[in-house]
Amino acid sequence: MDKAKLERLKRAAKNIRLGAIEAVYSASSGHPGGSLSIADVLAYLYMEEMNIDPNNPQKPDRDRLVLSKGHVTPGLYAALAERGFFPKEELKNFRQIDSYLQGHPDMKSTPGVDMTTGSLGLGFSAACGMALGSKLLGYNNRVYAILGDGELEEGQIWEAAMFARHYKLDNLTAFVDFNGLQIDGKITDVVDPTPIPEKFAAFGWNVIEIDGHDFVAIERAVGAAKECKGKPTAIICHTTKGKGVSFMENEAKWHGSAPNKEQYEQAIAELSALE
């Protein structure tokens, strides 16, 4: 990856993290921890990878992204705003009664949102339907699904994993945000969904494990997924929940709570100081 591209991605990820904190602080509500852990993957997909057009968000043969871990709308909306689907100022209206930025993704109200999600497990299946539909329609596109590690506790995830492999959905790539935490604590303490790579491998998927904050690794994995024919690819991303804000890092309580004014100012200061 050349230096300019890396700089561009780092700047985008920084803006996505700043936007996510802005949104959650404005709403006094929302999910910062998982927004920050997946920000680099969102930056790569929305800013570099996906064939999408903010001026024509419904282009039929576009790439799709399904945020199956739908609660991290602060990260998703900040990424969509960064890509130009709507003005960044709208992030301040997140979760408000008159805003098109609903608490969880709503494809009918938000430009750039490809699937309504939020109830865990459902988005992954919908992404399988999109990938199957893309093949039926002869599109040469990609479908990306972003899953939480805690979300893997939903049984429907494994129904979808079986389905995707059975129908050889090699146009589907799933990212698992493996940050190790869910609302009630460590995923290994709640109901342990590990080992994750082995599970996807056992379900017949191509599996790649990466550092989910390393753009070079993300790029390489996305490329390898495109090369893999005949089966879907799962990219298991080792990440840090709350990445970039010191007091949010690796703390389950920042899964779904908003910072107060002092914490907000510290978070913005820390993120602004990132290179």
Partner 1 sequence: MAYKVGDKIATREAYGDALVEFGAKYPNVVVLDADLAEATKTIKFKKAYPERFFDCGIAESNMASVAAGLASMGLIPFASSFAMFTAGRAFEPIRNSIGYPHLNVKIGATHAGITVGEDGATHQCLEDLGTMRLIPGMTVLSPADAVEARAAVEAAINIKGPVYIRFGRYAVPVIFEQDTYKMEVGRGIILAEGRDAAIFATGFMTHAALEARALLKNDGIDAAVINIHTVKPIDRELVIAMANTTGAIVTCEEHNIIGGLGDAVSEVVCECCPVPVFRVGVRDQFGRSGKVPPLLEHYGLTPAVVAEKVKAAVALKK
For partner 1, the binding residues (CB under 8 A) are 60, 66, 106-108, 114-116, 118-119, 121-134, 136-137, 155-156, 159-160, 162-163, 166-167
Distance of closest approach, residue 53 Cβ to partner 1, in angstroms: 17
116 or 233: whose CB is closer to partner 1? 116
Distance of closest approach, residue 160 Cβ to partner 1, in angstroms: 5
* 19: exposed, middle or buried (Cβ count in 10 Å: 0-12, 13-18, 19+): buried
Contacts of 166 (CB under 8 A, 6+ apart): none
15 or 102: whose CB is closer to partner 1? 102
Neighbours of 30 (CB within 10 A): 25
130 or 237: whose CB is closer to partner 1? 130
Distance of closest approach, residue 159 Cβ to partner 1, in angstroms: 4
115 or 248: whose CB is closer to partner 1? 115
133 or 223: whose CB is closer to partner 1? 133
End-to-end CA distance of the chain: 17
115 strand-pairing partners: none
Dihedral over Cα of 262, 263, 267, 273: its sign: positive
Q: Which of 230, 219, 232, 221 is nearest to 44 (CA)?
A: 219
Distance of closest approach, residue 88 Cβ to partner 1, in angstroms: 25
CA distance 123 to 188: 23
Distance of closest approach, residue 6 Cβ to partner 1, in angstroms: 33
